[in-house]
Amino acid sequence: MDLTVKTLEGKDAGKVAVSDAIFGLDPREDIIARMVRYQLAKKRQGTHKTKTRSEIARTGSKMYKQKGTGRARHHSARAPQFRGGGRAHGPVVRSHAHDLPKKIRALALRHALSAKLKAEDLIVVDQLVSAQAKTKELVGALSGLGLNNVLFIGGAELDANFKLAAQNIPNVDVLPVQGINVYDILRRNKLVLSKAAVEALEERFK
């Protein structure tokens, strides 16, 4: 299929041919959801921790004698049932990451791209280049295109001026094509690909 290419000023800049195997799939929410869960699980720090009874700074001596008091038998005050005692079966420092086959991850990215195109939320521009690192000028260009919540995907090397101009704009992300991922695609309303990014994706999934 052919997609219309625009400039950052909103003018037409021809067309680019894209593969149906990348941008023309019927999006499957289950595959995309598996990938998002995989990404978010890997991002979790996993530094949650509670102290067990062996880590509590409290005396370990027997609370009172075994017999003759009429009370229940207890030993250490560090036991979980006492106030100030250790936590039983509490969270420990660990990784929340889980496995997801490489082919499923690649398929999820293609489904996410197809979903954006199907929803008419994908725009292809000729190049992501700014003459000056001026945020005000870029904000004006984006408002002309109706973009206020957008992910820009450039080529292998990002234009330094464009990156600097965009980094202070809220809800605007800029990534090189090798950093494209399902979660960032879905968290922004619009996806803008440069021609270099489209060519790189075509080569990647060829």
Residues 80 and 146 in one domain: no
Residues 183 and 122 in one domain: yes
Single residue among 27, 60, 90 that ends a domain in this structure? 90
Residue 187: strand, helix, or coil: helix
For the chain, percent of residues with pLDDT exceeding 90: 79
Alpha helix segments (H runs only) across the chain: 20-23, 29-43, 102-118, 135-145, 160-166, 182-187, 195-204
Does residue 105 register a pLDDT over 90?
yes
Residues 164 and 140 in one domain: yes
Residues 104 and 40 in one domain: yes
| Ramachandran bin of 9, using left for φ above 0, alpha for ψ from -120 to 50, beta for the remaining angles | alpha
Residues 186-200: pLDDT tens digits?
Answer: 999 999 999 999 999
Structure letter (DSSP) for residue 7: -
Does residue 7 register a pLDDT over 90?
no
The tally of domains found in the chain comes to 2
Residues 36 and 122 in one domain: yes
Residues 147 and 118 in one domain: yes
What tokens does 83 get? 């106030």
Residues 52-73: pLDDT tens digits?
Answer: 999 999 998 999 999 999 999 9
The domain that holds 28 is classified in CATH as: 3.40.1370.10
Single residue among 90, 117, 151 that ends a domain in this structure? 90
End-to-end CA, the chain = 15
The answer to whether 152 touches 175, Cβ cutoff 8 Å, is: yes
Domain range enclosing 85:
50-90
Residues 154-169: pLDDT tens digits?
Answer: 998 999 999 999 998 9
Arithmetic mean of pLDDT over the chain: 93
Classify each residue of 73-112 as buried b or exposed e, where b means 16 or more C-beta atoms within 10 Å of its C-beta: eeebbbeeeeeebbeeeeeeeeeeeeebeeeebebbbbbb
d(CA 33, CA 44): 17
Which band of pLDDT confidence, cut at 50, 70 and 90, is reported for residue 101?
A: very high
Residues 81 and 33 in one domain: no
